[in-house]
Amino acid sequence: MNSEIRNQEPRNVWNNFADLNAVPRPSKKEERVIAFMVAFGKKLNLETVVDKVGNVIIKKPATTGMANRKTVVMQSHLDMVHQKNSDTNFDFDTQGIEMYVDGDWVTARGTTLGADNGLGVAAIMSVLESSTIQHPAIEALFTIDEETGMTGAMGLEAGYLDGEILLNLDTEEDDEIGMGCAGGIDVTAKREYTQEKTSDNVTGLTITINGLNGGHSGMDIHKGLGNANKLMNRVLYDGMENFDLRIHEIIGGSLRNAIPRESKATVVIDTISKAPFFFEMNELINDIKAEYKSLEPNLSITISDTETPNTIMEYGAQEGFIKSIHAALNGVYRMSPDIDGLVETSNNIAKIIVKDGHILVNCLTRSSSESNKTDLANSLCAAFELSGFDVEYSGDYPGWLPNTDSEVLSVLDKLYEKLHGEKAKIAACHAGLECGILGQNYPEMDMVSFGPTILGAHSPDERASISSTQKFWSFLLEILKNIPNKA
C-alpha cells in the first residue's frame, strides 16, 4: 500500500484504512473482512463476537474515570460499493484498492475508494486500539451488506448491545450532523420475450453511452445528473418510432444504489435507412449533450457498426419495454415540505439487462415518507405491469425519524460550535443509513450520524478529504470525552 497514504494525519486512522482497503470486501462477500475484524479484536484481547448474519461486535471497557458515562455504540459498515471505469482492469474479489494522494484528497486508481464507510471503520479501529484516548465503554458494531440491502442491520437481534447512545460514522459532509434519513425499497421488473430471427437487409449497430459522473443514488439524485439507462431509452425510442429500430441486447448500469454511468445496446435497422438514421441520431445526440453540457461535460454517445446479430426482440415486447422505461420516473419525485432542500422521495432506474429472451429492470426507490415511498413504488409497478412485466418489491427498510430532543445531538451541536466557531448543519439526509433499522430492535437508543467529507461516493471518482478527516477525528475524540453520565 502506498506509504504516502500511511503518512497522512491522523496516522492511526489512515493506517487502519490502508489495512482495511487491502482486504477485498464486496457486499454479500464479506467473509474475508469479517475474519480481518475478528482477528483485529482478538489481537487486542477485546471481547469479540460475530452474530448469526455476520455483523462483528467488539467491546472495550471505559478508560479510567469514564465508567460512569453512558455506553456508546460506534457503528460503521464493512462492505463497499464496487464500481470501476470501463477501461480499468481490476478484480474487486481478489485485489486491494489502489490508492494515492492528490493534493488534499485520497482517491483510487479507476475504482471506488471505499472511504464510504471504510473511514468510519478505520476511526473505530483507532479508538479500540488506543491506550491514550479517553472514552466511556465502547461497543463497536461493524455491520455487513449495507450497500445492497442493509441485511446486516436488519439481522442484528436485540440483546447484543447494551449501549444507550449510537454514533453512526457514515455521513459524508464534515459540517453536518445527521438526525434522520430516508428508507428505501427495491422495485424489480421482469418479463420474458420471444426472440425473432433477424431479417435480411438490416445493419447491426452498437450504441454506447459513457463518460457520465454517476454517483450516489440518494445523496446525488437531486443534482439532475445523467442516467445512462434513461438516456439510452431516449435514443432507442426515437429509433423505434422513426426507423423501426429493433433491439438485440442492452446492458446498462450495475448497482442499485449508484446512478448508472454507462449503457451499451446492440440493435439493427434497415440498411436502406442507415444514412438518415445517423443524421437524425447525430442531431438528437447533440441536443442531449447541450442539455447536459454543464452537468456532464464528458458525456459520450456513440453509434458504430457491429456484426449483425442473429436475433432481435419481438416488436410487441420491445414497444412495451421502451415505453415503460419512458414512463417510469427517474430522479426526484417530491421535495420535503418540512426541511428546506431535502429530497423526500426519489427513484433511481439503476440497472437494465435485455438478453437471451429476458428483461430485468432494477430500481431503488427512497423516501423519508413511508406513504410516498409506497405511492412511488406503486406508480413504477403500474408502468411496468401495463407492459406485461412481473414486478416484485424487496429489501424494504424504514427511514430514521428525526428526534429533535436527542441528548447526544445537543452534545454534538454544542461541541461543534465550540470547536469551530460556527453552527453545524443539523439535517436529515436522502441516503439510507442503518440507524432506522437498528432502532427497531433498540428503540431507546439515542442516535446521531457524522463523518468526514467524501465526494463522489459510489463512483470511481470517490475521494476523501485529508484535512476533513483530521477535523472529523478531532471532533470524534471530543465527543467521546463529553458523553453524558448514566442516569
Residues of the chain with pLDDT below 70 are: 1-2
Do 196 and 78 fall into the same domain?
Answer: no
Of the three residues 397, 412, 429, the one that is the final residue of a domain is: 397
Which CATH number fits the domain that encloses residue 50? 3.40.630.10
214 falls within a domain: yes
Interatomic CA distance for residues 29 and 5, integer angstroms: 26
Do 222 and 317 fall into the same domain?
Answer: yes
75 falls within a domain: yes
Do 414 and 384 fall into the same domain?
Answer: no
Retrieve residue 161's grid coordinates: 448491545
Phi and psi at residue 484, to the nearest 5°: -65, 160
Which CATH number fits the domain that encloses residue 300? 3.30.70.360
Residue 431: per-residue pLDDT: 87
251 pairs with which residues across the strands? 264, 353
486 falls within a domain: no
- Number of other residues whose CB lies within 10 A of the CB of residue 59: 21
324 falls within a domain: yes
Do 374 and 406 fall into the same domain?
Answer: no
- In sequence order, the 6+-apart residues with CB closer than 8 A to the CB of 171 are 177, 178, 429, 433, 449, 450, 451
Do 271 and 343 fall into the same domain?
Answer: yes
Of the three residues 340, 366, 397, the one that is the final residue of a domain is: 397
Do 85 and 230 fall into the same domain?
Answer: no
Q: Which of 146, 172, 173, 176 is catalytic?
A: 146
Interatomic CA distance for residues 412 and 224, integer angstroms: 32
104 falls within a domain: yes
Please state, in angstroms and as integers, the Cα–Cα distance from residue 400 to each residue in 368, 427, 448, following that order.
8, 12, 10
Do 407 and 390 fall into the same domain?
Answer: no
The string of DSSP letters for 172-207 reads: S-TTEEEEEE-EEEEEEEEEE-PEEEPPSSEEEEEE
Residue 166: per-residue pLDDT: 98
Task: Please indicate whether residue 305 is annotated as part of the active site.
Answer: no
Do 173 and 190 fall into the same domain?
Answer: no
Cα-Cα-Cα-Cα dihedral sign, residues 471, 477, 478, 484: positive
Residue 51: per-residue pLDDT: 98
3-state secondary structure of 333: strand
In 328-465, where does DSSP find H-type helix? 370-385, 407-420, 435-441
Q: How many domains does the chain have?
A: 2
Do 391 and 349 fall into the same domain?
Answer: yes
352 falls within a domain: yes
Do 130 and 169 fall into the same domain?
Answer: yes
Residue 160: per-residue pLDDT: 96
Residue 149: per-residue pLDDT: 84
Do 254 and 303 fall into the same domain?
Answer: yes
Of the three residues 358, 382, 397, the one that is the final residue of a domain is: 397
487 falls within a domain: no
Do 167 and 222 fall into the same domain?
Answer: no
Which domain covers residue 446, as residue numbers?
3-181+401-481
33 falls within a domain: yes
Task: Please indicate whether residue 146 is annotated as part of the active site.
Answer: yes
